[in-house]
């Protein structure tokens, strides 16, 4: 038995792997593989339509919010967002809360004025700053809802809602994991490979009323309005990646949707953090109130012992627990498709190892 705790690409439901493999051989009885069907065929259009409908339904989106499946990963959104929403003479507020947040603000500087309204860089991003002000004239405020590398997550969004400016969020690593009022956001983006599906596609949810306000001329492929008009088919979409997303969204709906998966995610995170806190061998790296329910980070002070535990994890089939180089130690990613049993098995191993080390 192997449990995949990788931060992304990451674990997906077994049912999704089974259905996706079947579709590679014969897609829905067409005699054709999902890898060779035309993207403008009715069979694929049905897949895309179902994925969009499932997302609108799961996220309870209103009619102003459009769902797009685009290429280029979340990293392309770092520049596509300001290209579409930040005028050259205007200003956007950015929260500097981690590696990806920092990359996003650097890209935004290419298009307008960036106001870094807060940063926890000096503390190696171990907390989320909350006491900061935002100029009401800002075109938007950009946040990273879950900082994948450091393991922090915005728990109480009201701090951000109160700022009174349009909200833009990189939700790559916690989208669909907890209930939020998604309609409060002007734009949400997420690489699919953490909680939505396979690598190769990213999700953009955009309030169409926020578009068309910048004066610059946009390349066709960079303009969200063209993608909305073309229904995410301005060019050949990543057919297979979108199919895997649709299967994962179907799975999530059958599980009871976001409300039900949030209960599971809370149980998994609670168990992991209880284990870290109960055993002095392990030290959580972020302040408790900002702990991520998706990525739990901890270290062991003795590097030699860290190596030993890593080797034990490997031997016991606990894959992908090594922390990012900027934090060190361990990072346990517990996305939607990670079963509670996986986290319980890792927690047991942590207890066993701590006891052995006395
Ligand atoms: C993984 C990740 C990214 C990068 O996503 P790509 O699809 O590889 O570009 C950006 N932001 C966050 C929060 C992430 O977790």
* Per-residue model confidence (pLDDT) at position 230: 97
pLDDT, tens only, 333-353: 999 999 999 999 999 999 999
Question: Which of 172, 199, 326 has most ligand 1 atoms within 8 Å of CB, for mutation?
Answer: 172
Specify the pairing of strand 202-207 against strand 185-191: antiparallel
Average pLDDT, rounded, for the chain = 97
Token representation of residue 23: 């579709």
Amino acid 358: pLDDT: 78
Residue 118's DSSP bridge partners are 95
Q: What is the pLDDT of residues 269-286, one digit of tens each?
A: 999 999 999 999 999 999
Cα separation values, 296 from 133, 146, 247, 249, 288, Å: 29, 11, 27, 24, 11
Are 239 and 318 part of one and the same domain? no
Distance (Å) from CA 5 to ligand 1 centroid: 16
Same domain, 245 and 276: no
pLDDT digits (tens, 9 = 90+) for 198-222: 999 999 999 999 999 999 999 999 9
Confidence of residue 45 (pLDDT cuts 50, 70, 90): very high
- Residue 291's pLDDT band (boundaries 50, 70, 90)? very high
Are residues 217 and 334 located together in one domain of the fold?
A: no
Cα(353) to ligand 1 centroid in Å equals 32
Q: How far apart are CA 296 and CA 353, in angstroms?
A: 18
Domain identity same for 325 and 351? yes
Helix (H) or strand (E) segment spanning residue 228: helix 224-229
Residues that constitute the known binding site: 7, 40, 74-75, 100, 148, 170, 193, 235-236
In whole angstroms, what separates CA 163 from the centre of its chain? 23
Cα–Cα dist 70/83, whole Å: 15
Residue finishing a domain among 202, 223, 255: 255
How much is the pLDDT for 101? 98
pLDDT digits (tens, 9 = 90+) for 26-35: 999 999 999 9
Looking at the structure, do residues 216 and 295 belong to the same domain, yes or no? no
Per-residue pLDDT at 198: 96
The count of other CB atoms within 10 Å of the CB of residue 137 is 10
Number of structural domains (the chain) is 2
Rounded mean pLDDT of 173-193?
98
What mean pLDDT is predicted for residues 9-27?
A: 98
Q: What are residue 132's phi and psi, to 5 degrees?
A: -150, 155
Is 75 in the same domain as 156? yes
User: Which residues are near ligand 1 (CB < 6 Å)?
Assistant: 8, 73-75, 100, 144, 148, 170, 172-173, 191, 202
What token pair was written down for 247?
């299967």
Q: 207 and 94, same structural domain?
A: yes
Query: Which of 75, 96, 171, 297 for mutating ligand 1's site (highest number of atoms within 8 Å of CB)?
Result: 75
How confident is the model at residue 56, as a pLDDT?
98
- Tens of pLDDT, residues 228-267: 999 999 999 999 999 999 999 999 999 999 999 999 999 9
First to last CA, the chain: 28
What CATH code is carried by the domain that includes residue 38?
Answer: 3.40.640.10
Distance 304 CA to ligand 1 centre (A): 31
How many helices, marked H, and strands, marked E, lie in the chain?
Answer: 10, 14
CB 275 within 8 A of CB 159: no
Q: Write down the pLDDT at residue 7.
A: 97
Same domain, yes or no: 74 and 183: yes
Residues 193 and 311 both lie in one domain: no
CATH of residue 301's domain is: 3.90.1150.10
| Ligand 1: residue whose CA is nearest its atom 14 | 172
Predicted TM-score (pTM) of the model is: 0.98
**CA–CA dist 61, 57 (Å, integer):** 7
Give the model confidence (pLDDT) of 125-179 as tens digits.
Answer: 999 999 999 999 999 999 999 999 999 999 999 999 999 999 999 999 999 999 9
Q: Domain limits at 318?
A: 3-9+257-356
CB-based contact 283:328 (threshold 8 Å): no
Phi-psi region of 333 (alpha: psi -120 to 50; beta: other; left: phi over 0): beta
């Amino acid at each position: 038995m192997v449990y995949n705790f990788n931060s992304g690409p990451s674990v997906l439901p077994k049912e999704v792997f089974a259905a996706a493999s079947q579709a590679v051989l014969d897609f829905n009885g067409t005699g054709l593989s999902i890898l060779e069907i035309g993207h403008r065929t009715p069979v694929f259009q049905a897949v895309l339509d179902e994925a969009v409908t499932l997302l609108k339904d799961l996220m309870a989106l209103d009619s102003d919010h459009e769902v797009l499946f685009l290429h280029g990963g979340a990293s392309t959104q770092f520049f596509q967002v300001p290209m579409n929403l930040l005028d050259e003479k205007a200003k956007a507020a950015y929260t500097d809360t981690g590696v990806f947040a920092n990359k996003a603000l650097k890209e935004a500087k290419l298009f307008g004025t960036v106001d870094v309204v807060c940063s926890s860089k000096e503390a190696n991003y171990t907390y989320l700053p909350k006491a900061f002000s935002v100029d009401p004239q800002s075109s938007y405020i950009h946040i990273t809802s879950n900082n994948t590398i450091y393991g922090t997550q915005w728990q109480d969004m009201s701090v951000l809602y109160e700022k009174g400016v349009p909200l833009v969020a990189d939700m790559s690593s916690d989208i669909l994991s907890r209930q939020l009022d998604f309609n409060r956001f002007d734009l949400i983006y997420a690489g699919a490979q953490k909680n939505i599906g396979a690598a190769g596609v990213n999700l953009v949810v955009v309030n169409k009323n926020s578009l068309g306000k910048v004066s610059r001329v946009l390349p066709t492929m960079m303009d969200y309005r063209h993608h909305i008009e073309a229904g995410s088919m301005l060019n050949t979409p990543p057919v297979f990646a979108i199919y895997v997303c649709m299967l994962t969204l179907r799975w999530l709906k059958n599980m009871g949707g976001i409300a039900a998966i949030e209960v599971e995610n809370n149980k998994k995170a609670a168990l992991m953090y209880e284990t870290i806190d109960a055993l002095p061998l392990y030290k959580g790296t972020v302040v408790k109130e900002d702990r991520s329910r998706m990525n739990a980070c901890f270290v062991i002070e003795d590097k030699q012992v860290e190596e030993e535990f890593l080797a034990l994890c490997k031997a016991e089939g606990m894959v992908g627990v090594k922390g990012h180089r900027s934090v060190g130690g361990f990072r346990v990613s517990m996305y939607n498709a990670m079963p509670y049993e996986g986290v319980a098995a890792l927690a047991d191993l942590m207890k066993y190892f701590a006891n052995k080390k006395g």
